[in-house]
A = this chain, B = another copy of it.
Amino acid sequence: MSEAAVRTGRRGRSGGGAARRAARTAVSVETAKYIERNVPNYEVLTEDALAVIEANAETVLAEIGVMFVDNPDALDRWRDAGADVEGERVRIPRGLARQLCSTAPSQYTQCARNPERNVVVGGNNLVLAPVYGPPFVRDAEGGRRYATMEDFEKFVKLGYMSKWLHHSGGTVCEPTDVPVNKRHLDMLLAHMIYSDKPFMGSVTEPSRAQDSVDMCNILFGEEFVQQNTVMTSLININSPLTFDSIMMGALEVFAKNNQASIISPFIVGGAMAPVSIAGTLTQAIAEVMAGVAYSQIIRPGSPVVAGTFVTSIDMNSGAPTFGTPEASHVTYGMGQLVRRLGLPYRSAGGFTGSKLPDAQAAYESANSLNMGLLSGVNFMLHACGWLEGGLVSSFEKFVMDADQLGTLHQFSKGVEMNENGQAMDAIEEVGPGGHYLGCAHTQANFKDAFWRSDLLDYKPFETWEDEGARDTMALATVRVKTLLDTYQQPAIDPEIEAKLRAYVADKKASMPDSFT
């Protein structure tokens, strides 16, 4: 809710019903600054436990090693860096990976085409980005269906309109109506022209990573791209302990061009890592250290984010499960381990296994968002819109989660301890048995004192019933429509837009369609 709406909405003080209604239906395109935490992180592991896991991770790297598959250049690089290479197995002597990681920056700025939207990834900051990867979309009207480029553009627009979202993301859904070998071009174009927030590059082929760099050269200028980070892209590790040539090829392109990569194990617990928390953390931090070390071999000082994506599993059905305590343990622990490496941390999101944006989705997502905030995550992918274990991007859930992200901002401000915060004058003024609604301190502070949802229902029961007794899903359907109806494209230099469109058209014309 904008400050103006709070002001006009105040009871008995101002312009009455019409002004209040107008303010309530106004759509803000304001974007909050990325979160700068003024609250501590939650730490679930003791110093002793951290030391054990770190020592074990060194053992894993030195004795078990990692695989770099179909990538002879990588093997040569590792050999040169001092690793023991046997076939595609790379065993990294104790201490070497950590030493190589030390050249990675502890934080970096990702530039957006609108400099006001630049984000600083690392430190106490938290940057929020939307769901990534689902092949399906769902909304109340159309149900569940394969995602299209039209859906993709809608999600980019919703992200642009979402106050608490700092980042436009990457594959907000898979546009399955565009050939696999061409869709990255349309996706990048959509992020570049429909939003002015920072975005992610393509990782599905090294050549597509290069296309991402080339398009950024058009958007930002080649010199700017070489001197600044303008993309943060998602490089998944094939857990356990395997680095494939496609992902590593994309990482190589980005690192060489000074662009950031999130290097992130993708772990379904009990399948890609041990069922135990400490075992999962050991493997995950070993994997991250190997991947980050490799990025620094490619280009020392290139920006990276140490990630982890972890779910538990329902041993009955084999389904991954979300918002569970085991994921929280791993996410808190991994935050501690990554901070000891001095790297930015990516994890968490609005995760759920639910098929609908219902109570299950909200319980699981809230559990997951809270753990993300308190675990010190610096870059949160999937912060909004994730449904059905990542198979579905949900329009309603996008705006529901995006609204909840406001609570993370407010909580992170911490507790004001100055004289105004202490409010001793107010306590004295009101005294026993009084009330604070009218006192001077309340009047001076109420506008910013309490976070307020832009979506959820706070109405009196009778009003709510008269308006159709709508649940959150129904309110979200309205909000999606309102946001899309009022969307206005941020200004872009027409010459640059034309060049981007020409680049995409030329590239698409240069190769046959492929849907595999």
A266-317 residues with Cβ-Cβ distance < 8 A to B are 269-280, 282-283, 312-317
Q: Are B42 and A452 touching (Cβ within 8 A)?
A: no
Question: Is residue A512 within 8 Å, beta carbon to beta carbon, of the partner chain?
Answer: no
Q: Which residues of B contact A272 (CB under 8 A)?
A: 435-436
How many whole Å from A2's CB to the nearest CB in chain B? 12
Question: Is residue A515 within 8 Å, beta carbon to beta carbon, of the partner chain?
Answer: no
Q: Are B426 and A279 touching (Cβ within 8 A)?
A: yes
- Given A365-B363, A432-B66, A316 contacting B10 (CB threshold 8 A): yes
Question: Is residue A81 within 8 Å, beta carbon to beta carbon, of the partner chain?
Answer: no
Q: Are B315 and A461 touching (Cβ within 8 A)?
A: no
Q: Are B319 and A458 touching (Cβ within 8 A)?
A: yes
Bound state CA distance, A417 and B281, in angstroms? 11
User: Which chain B residue shows the least CB distance to A353?
Assistant: B458
Which listed residue, B274, B354, B426, touches A427 by the CB 8 Å rule? B274
Question: Is residue A473 within 8 Å, beta carbon to beta carbon, of the partner chain?
Answer: yes
Bound state CA distance, A20 and B273, in angstroms? 27
Bound state CA distance, A53 and B417, in angstroms? 9
How many whole Å from A329's CB to the nearest CB in chain B? 5
Residues of A in contact (CB 8 Å), total 129
Which listed residue, B69, B273, B447, touches A436 by the CB 8 Å rule? B273
Binding site for B on A (CB under 8 A): 6, 9-11, 20, 39-40, 42-45, 48-49, 52-53, 56, 59-60, 63-67, 69, 89, 144, 238, 240-242, 269-280, 282-283, 312-319, 321, 323-326, 328-329, 333, 353-367, 370-371, 374, 388, 391, 400, 404, 407-408, 410-411, 414-417, 420-424, 426-428, 430-437, 441-442, 445-447, 449-453, 456-461, 464-465, 469, 471-473, 476
18 extra interface residue pairs, beta carbon distance < 8 Å, beyond A278-B415, A355-B461, A362-B363: A42-B42, A64-B432, A67-B433, A240-B432, A276-B421, A276-B441, A277-B421, A279-B427, A315-B449, A315-B450, A321-B450, A321-B453, A326-B449, A329-B411, A353-B456, A355-B465, A363-B404, A370-B371
